[in-house]
Chains A and B, each alone.
Chain A
Amino acid sequence: AQSVAQPEDQVNVAEGNPLTVKCTYSVSGNPYLFWYVQYPNRGLQFLLKYITGDNLVKGSYGFEAEFNKSQTSFHLKKPSALVSDSALYFCAVRDTGGYQKVTFGTGTKLQVIP
């Protein structure tokens, strides 16, 4: 079975400061990992994914994420937060072997304070 944990329900950060949204995962094989963002009354938007290769993945809107196999983590980061980054962020995992449904985390609300 696969699972995803987002240990923080909410993260507050001051505008201009670096931000980190945490995600850890569990899969039986190798993972495909994704980050999505959800703005109020909207669907999820894809930010970035890890498939293979470089552990640091760059995505949309200046976000990046670091894959750490030993810690089974895939934390989302941004060097300088914007107020407009305030939203709900979901981490998701999918095993690479065969068909597997995507498992989403419970979401982390990011609040960027002006």
Chain B
Amino acid sequence: GAGVSQSPSNKVTEKGKDVELRCDPISGHTALYWYRQRLGQGLEFLIYFQGNSAPDKSGLPSDRFSAERTGESVSTLTIQRTQQEDSAVYLCASSLGAGNNQPQHFGDGTRLSIL
């Protein structure tokens, strides 16, 4: 079946512009996660959705970052007034439920480069 799909796969933009990243989770997966992975580093948690609500936003680094999820499906991560330090791969993952024993299924990420 289809996996987690992220778009665009690559995004290059100028400092100060807004960007919107999209994630289509696996159908039926109620839990959705966003992570940031800087070059050569591990995963940095950003936000968790259960259904359309976000019970854990603790990883969003600043108020320039926001995310929403509609219809228990697609999620968008928006970064306003981008800065060079925002350059990274943004990974989305989904899992079947909110249970802590559920593995996460990842998309291939959006590689964001801020000039």
Contact = CB atoms under 8 A, between A and B. Distances in A.
Interface of A: 32, 34, 36, 41-46, 49, 51, 90, 94-96, 99-102, 104-107
A3 B41 CA distance: 16
B43 A104 contact: yes
Nearest to B98: A99
Q: Which of B43, B45, B104, B107 has the most CB of A within 10 A?
A: B43
Q: Is the interface of B mostly helix, strand, loop or mixed?
A: loop
Contacts of B100: 32, 94-96, 99-100
Q: Which of B42, B105, B106, B108 has the most chain A CB within a 10 Å cutoff? A: B42
A99 B101 CA distance: 11
Interface residues of B, number: 24
Interface of B: 4, 33, 41-43, 45, 48, 55-56, 58-59, 91, 93, 98, 100-101, 103-109, 111
A44 B108 CA distance: 8
Contacts of B56: 99, 101
Contacts, number: 54
Contact of A34 (B48, B91, B103, B109): B103
B107 A49 contact: no
A46 B105 contact: yes
Given A99-B55, A99-B56, A104-B42, A41 B101 contact: no
B41 A43 contact: no
B109 A43 contact: yes
B4 A90 contact: no
5 contacts: A44-B91, A95-B100, A99-B55, A101-B45, A102-B33
B106 A102 contact: no
B106 A43 contact: yes
A6 B106 CA distance: 21
User: Across chains A and B, which 5 residue pairs bring their CB atoms closest together, nearest first?
Assistant: A43-B106, A46-B103, A106-B42, A104-B43, A44-B106
